[in-house]
Amino acid sequence: MKLLSSSFVLSVTLSLLTSCEGTAQLPDFNNPIGGPSSQIITQSDMVDGLKEALNVGIQNAVTEASKTNGFLNDSKLRIPFPPEATKVENKMRQLGLSTQADQFVETLNAAASEASKKAAPIFVDAITRMTIQDAQGILTSDNHEAATEYLEQQTRSQLYNAFKPDVHEAIESVGVTSAWEPIVTKYNALPLTEDVNPDLDDYVTQKTLDGLFLLVAQEEKKIRENPEARVTDLLKKVFGNI
């Protein structure tokens, strides 16, 4: 009887292993994803679901950031004078040149919004390198911005290099340089002042990326916490069973 039982167990085990081959289903020990009645989430589902969540977040973030005054009118995104140039701004306002200072800030933010229009393909290409191990850790994390943080850690430097030419083009097209040069020239001509010459391309690129990652994080949080934000069947399946 013991021999029969062992053979039966072995047969069933081999059958299960064979039937599961190629599906890469995650073991459901203690229901690590979802409750007792949840759907089984395969490794492929996890990776595809996270990529889709990031894609949705990126598209929504780019739409928000690239609209007219998308950066300027959002206090969390608004780009101020470069830190090393705040003394220039202060001096301008003391001299009654607040209008010119405000116009310069407007051009910085217009450049960020303009450059954001080209961000989506760069971001989408960057998420293709996510591994199964990355996806499992991100999906089960208590941090509701984990996917965005992973994306930023893995891709920020590459995105910066790819995005900077677009920012430079936007800076030129909206007149940041033409607005800045007369300001800094007048300031640097003042006696007893140290010359100021910030790298505007670098500054606007960094601030634009900061803003876009912030918006993507907000979108990820919505998808994790709000069922209505899960706009596809895959998002509902994956994030509805966490």
Name the most confidently modeled range: 10-24, 69-83, 132-146: 69-83
The yes-or-no verdict on residue 65 having pLDDT over 90 is yes
Q: In this predicted structure, what is the pLDDT of residue 109?
A: 96
pLDDT tens for 196-222 read: 888 999 999 999 999 999 999 999 999
What's the whole-number average pLDDT of the chain? 82
Question: Which structure tokens are listed for 140?
Answer: 């089960």
CA 236, CA 159: separation in Å to the nearest integer?
29
The yes-or-no verdict on residue 96 having pLDDT over 70 is yes
pLDDT tens for 31-48 read: 444 444 456 878 888 888
Please, what is the Cα angle at 234 between 230 and 239, to 5 degrees? 55
SS3 for 117?
A: coil
CB 47 within 8 A of CB 55: no
Distance from chain centroid for Cα 187: 37
Q: Which amino acid is at 127?
A: I
Burial class (CB in 10 A: 0-12, 13-18, 19+), 116: buried
Residues 6+ apart with CB under 8 A from 34: 41, 240, 241, 242
What percent of the chain has a predicted confidence (pLDDT) above 90? 39
Q: In this predicted structure, what is the pLDDT of residue 49?
A: 87
User: From the CB of residue 154, how many other CB atoms can be counted at a distance below 10 Å?
Assistant: 15
CB 179 within 8 A of CB 104: yes
